[in-house]
Structure 1
Amino acid sequence: MEARPDALAPYDAILLVSFGGPEGPDEVLPFLRRVTAGRGIPDERLVEVGRHYALFGGRSPINDANRALIADLRARLDARGIDVPIAWGNRNSSPFLADAAAELADGGARRVLALLTSVWSSWSSCRQYRENLADAFPAELGIEVDKVRPYGPTPAFGEPAAQLVLAAVRDALTRYPAQDVHVLHVTHSIPLSMDETSGPGDGPGHLYTTQQRQVAAGIHERISAELGVEVEGELSFCSRSGPPSQPWLEPDVGDRIAQLAAAGTRCVIVHPIGFVSDHMEVVYDLDTEAAAVAQDAGVEMIRVPTVGTHPAFHEGLVDLLLERAAHARGEDAGPLVWPAGADVRPDVCAPGCCPNLRADRPALCGADR
């Protein structure tokens, strides 16, 4: 997308919004307490979860990934002649969203464009961040906040994901026939009720899984077109954290790997479709736990990289920032969509979209605030 120096007008700053993660052993337990606040999870259970971080020096990779992303976005904006500041705020760790809001206010920002590192539609992956933004940017701060729409079904995510999966399939086909290869597109499990209510309040729901299945289908169409073979694939899930009595999305990726191995699959390609960077749900749930299941089951596991370091992802994010700015100016600029026909969300979330099923809380960037 072509750019000019004022291409991000009316916005005078960009805000990267992310989940956050601990950067040292002393931060692990406080971080997990913030993540699970209000859910009554005892510290004993949190200490057990914290042992996952201990395998990686008590540190999550997510903040370093965000620093690298900001640096690359800065370089790409500069290359297009766009000089706007980029702030960064997390939900659960420093730098917190409230700190980013204060930084932006001190810098004189009056209209800010938020870019989430969470790309799909559901309460936890979209609306909850909108609630966090409402907390961090009260009206008296005098800053208007818009955000980039959920961008999983766009070229920014879909194109690099397709390229990365295609490379993994090519690799697998050097050793196995197509019928012995299976792709598991892995995303974060959420409660069934959250998936059922994801999307507009007057819609059919299940937008969280629908979007990801649409992108996965687009990836398999690319595999078929470029390699001339059909490789089976499906959506699977990781990181379930709710009580056993609460139904969450299944099948678990580890369980599915074991089932596929028992049915004769010889190579499983694990694609983290639910994530943009290698944070704990990837480096522990996939690279550690799922990899151990694959080894025990006697199948080769190929883990596809996340899109976060792919140049097409970074360039696509800049295009999405420009698209949102053009829409804010009343210009017709899209929408960008990948694959064709995927469910594209509007810039401003509709009333009742991806509702909070536990509490009625205000949220920015939506028609029902």
Structure 2
Amino acid sequence: MLELTARMSGRTTWTLLDEHDRVLDGAEHSNLILNAGLDAFMVGNSTTFWSGSNYPYPLFGQFRRYLALGTGSTAPAVTQTTLAAEVARTDSGGGFDGGSGEIRSAFSSTVNSMSVHATHVRVHTFSSPYNITEYGLSASSGANGALSIRELFRDGGGTPVAISVQAGQKIKVTHTLTVTLPLGFQDVTQPVTNLGNLSAKQSFYRVNDTNVADFWSYVFNPTSGGILYPQMVADGFNAAVAPGSRSAAGTITVQPYTNGTYSRVKRCVLDVADGNGNLYGIAISSNTVDGYTGWRMGFTNPAPLVKDNTKKLTLDVVQSIARG
């Protein structure tokens, strides 16, 4: 199997607002992604959704759609699933919708990696006073529903704080999720029935920033496959270039997810009529246009793999997520 691992981290900016949205207090700090959050990420749709003007959410917004607020002080741990003492839950954007520029997806890259930074906003208005100390983000609307993220509110130095909230005041939570993938070809071994272990190289490839959002929405999306391309020409291994001979063929089927694995298999099948001839590898993209970013694998031994209309080739691509 071909294994691909992404790293995921989050940062939170919290703001205490008065009834006129004037800033009273606030800070920025990192947050803990729970095991349940990794599970929720692997079964959630990662594409951008707009479900009413009050709660749009960006890339990877589904598994952190709802903000939960509480008064508990238990230190965060990856095995937790709820707040210590939840008092409120909301998916309100508080008017900070996409037009404000606060809900957005930004992209960055280096020679060795590419990242998406997906930011959304949740706001809760209090009708009675509380000392709020903890928060979480969740895919669930129900009180005490399983959290994806849990953290204590902290000051800029990382020390836990209690936010004294009065009736009519608001807590605004701006959360940015960063997901990073490696660029650069890695040597891998691919077992193939009747052929044994074949040598190959694999990498995500990034052509430019123009259409990179489609990659995160459809190729990296844990619940969708993308478009499969058999590579019928030898064009080298370059993570900044789309593979040659782009003609879609075959199928990609996302396999069922098992909780606790944080991995999902995308099964690529070239049936007897697909990719026949000298097969140099496969690629997965979101579009037939060369400018789209994707993932590619090329055989190195043997190179090419000779396929004809009596053979069916199945390759499992394992997509994993980890903290970091």
TM range (shorter): under 0.3
The answer to which structure, 1 or 2, has the higher relative contact order (CA under 8 A, 6+ apart) is 1
More helix by percentage = 1
More strand by percentage = 2
What is the TM-score when the length of structure 2 is the normalising length?
Answer: 0.26
